[in-house]
Structure 1
Amino acid sequence: MLIPNLRIKALFPLVLLLLFTVTACGPKASDVGDSGAVDSGDATSQEPTEATPVDEPSAVDDPDAVAPEEATGVALALSGEGVLVIDQQSGKTRTIPFETDVETSQIAISASLGEPTDTTENSECGAGPMSFITWSNGFTINVKDDQFVGWTVRLDTESANLTTVDGIGLGSTLADLEENYDVGVIESSLGTEFDASNSLFGLLDANEPNGVITDLWSGVTCIFR
């Protein structure tokens, strides 16, 4: 009956050895946080990271794109009845006839030429006192009794590039005029003067088919002969 006691005594040192080994290999108190979790040394495993925001794709500028303000524009054409204002995008044409009030006329023309740069007056015109509104390109409208009554283009200014819808302007010839109008030519104190269908008036450098228009006007003017 002594054999069991001997077995227990023999196993007792082995049990003590195992307990000592487990205690030595266990976590230290300094490695345990307040919650009792073991610090693994990897910070990213302890707290979730915020998702990195994704930038929205930015619009890419098209080098061939036309700016909105350039996509639309207003052109001005001359007429023996006034002026034509042409929307270059839609092609729509608006006529500003003589005897239109000056405010409406000025706004319409300014849509093409910008704001006027000069206003003058002359009280001694044959038709009575008149005022003259001029734009930076040299184009001038004649105003009488607060109405747009005539216009003039000027040589050596950008207004010299203005033409009728038929292409008649400074630099056109008498032959060009005769293709589109019933033309009369006289010699006056001003020079070789023409009347094209009683709508366009001006001067030629010669009374011959290749004579060139050097001055052009229409409507009521303030010209002294």
Structure 2
Amino acid sequence: MAVLRLGLLMAAVGGAISGYGAAAPSAARPLPRVVLRSDGIASGDAHRSQGLRFGTAKSAAVAAASVLLGTPLGSQVSPDCGIGHPMTLVTYKGGFTLQFLKEKLVGWSLDRPADPRFRTAAGITIGSTLAAVRKGYPNIDVDDGSLGPMFTRLGDPSGFLDGLSPNSHVTGLYAGRTCMVW
């Protein structure tokens, strides 16, 4: 039954991405796991699902994301983050934000308090330890950057930490072009 639900959900997401539209999930249906990828997001298994990729038109991306995440909580335009063009941030329940530049999906971010169903393919989420991040993503770069402790690795989601020790915790995740608004 779970496989059938996931298949129907991905068909709906595929339809939204293709421009056929999609409806927001009903309250009775549980929302699926969301896999946070370096090129977008996916439902369920990140390796079998095409998901929602960067470059998708804003209208299609918001429709597809609404199938996975429910109705957006709101949106805001940030004139300072788009390098000469305003960036639009669409927020969802669970600390998740889609980020758009010139009407195209260019990034995502996950902040606290985060819904635990948001995870990277390696299982990393808000609250994971730096030790778990290093295990899931060997050879990451960790430093005390201008925005605070963070980790990065080309081709994988990046994130913020509350310290640099192995027991430090992930406080935020992101991929693509993002505008961090506090």
Question: Structure 1-normalised TM-score?
Answer: 0.60
What's 1:153 paired with?
110
Q: Distance in 2 between matches of 1:71 and 1:189?
A: 42
Distance 1:136 1:211, change over 3 A: closer
CA RMSD of aligned residues (A): 2.6
Q: Distance in 1 between matches of 2:149 and 2:131?
A: 15
Distance 1:185 1:71, change over 3 A: closer
CA contact (8 A) 1:85 1:108 kept: no
CA contact (8 A) 1:151 1:217 kept: yes
Give 1 or 2 for the bigger CA radius of gyration.
1
Which structure has more relative contact order (CA 8 Å, sep 6+)? It is 2
SS of equivalent residue, structure 1 residue 100: coil
Distance 1:172 1:157, change over 3 A: closer
The CA deviation at 1:121 is 0.2
More helix by share: 1
Tell me the amino acid that sits aligned with residue 180 of structure 1: G
Q: Distance in 2 between matches of 1:71 and 1:206?
A: 38
Question: Structure 2-normalised TM-score?
Answer: 0.72
State yes or no: 1:144 paired with 2:101: yes
What's 2:80 paired with?
124
Q: Distance in 1 between matches of 2:148 and 2:131?
A: 18
The CA deviation at 1:143 is 0.4
Q: Percent identity, aligned pairs only? A: 30
Runs of 4+ in structure 1 deviating by more than 6 angstroms, as ranges, are: none
State yes or no: 1:175 paired with 2:131: yes
Structure 2 segments unaligned to the other structure (5+ residues): 1-25
Q: Distance in 1 between matches of 2:91 and 2:120?
A: 19
SS of equivalent residue, structure 1 residue 108: helix
The CA deviation at 1:183 is 0.6
Structure 1 segments unaligned to the other structure (5+ residues): 1-68
The CA deviation at 1:198 is 4.5
Tell me the amino acid that sits aligned with residue 149 of structure 2: T
Aligned residues: 152
Distance 1:72 1:203, change over 3 A: closer
The CA deviation at 1:157 is 4.3
